[in-house]
Amino acid sequence: MSKQKVSLVDGTCAERFSWPVEHLGQDQHGTWLGARRGNPVRQPDGRHESQEHDAVWLVTEGAWWLPAFWFTDTTDLTIDICTPPTLDGSVWSFVDLELDLVRAADGRAGIVDQDEFDELALSGHLTDSQVATATEVARALLPLVQMEAEPFGRAARAWLQALRS
């Protein structure tokens, strides 16, 4: 998996984080990918850090979002608002648009990093359409995440269990 970010300085797009994932399978929601605790995650400075928890990601064709399901003591899921993920060979990649959603283990959910998204939007390196789409997607997803509507409910738990098996 390759997480790319847009430079605020010149608008170029470059990989910031990458980590190996395994293809777990597909269902009506999309393609499920997983990585176990201890998985190496390459950081922007080239160092590798170990992934702290098992996680699964859901890639839904054409979606401007990529959820990561953790189900830890503190965090159920995080969602990157991003360009639709693409598959090149065996590597999924996406451009992170800085706007995120989070649902805590206690069920509280919200949109986070609005300030980072606003800064990127004001930089002029996103089109008006990208800004509008990202904003609309985050607002539309929030009530679904809060209600634990699928695929933001229990569906991911089965895939996380499959990863651990």
Q: How far apart are CA 133 and CA 66, in angstroms?
A: 14
Boundaries of domain holding 103: 2-164
**Residues with Cβ within 8 Å of residue 126, at least 6 apart in sequence:** 6, 97, 120, 134
CB distance 78 to 69 below 8 Å: no
Number of separate domains in the chain = 1
pLDDT class for 7, splitting at 50, 70, 90? confident
Beta-bridge partner residues of 6: 13
pLDDT value for 1: 80
Instruction: Compute and round to an integer the Cα radius of gyration of the chain.
Output: 15
Strands 2-6 and 91-104: parallel
Q: Quick one: tokens of 165?
A: 């098996």
CATH of the domain at 62: 2.40.380.10
Q: How far apart are CA 137 and CA 157, in angstroms?
A: 23
| pTM score of the predicted model | 0.93
Task: Return the sign of the alpha-carbon dihedral for residues 54, 71, 65, 46.
Answer: negative
Question: Which residue matches tokens 């995120």?
Answer: 100
Residues 18-59: pLDDT tens digits?
A: 999 999 999 999 999 999 999 999 998 899 999 999 999 999
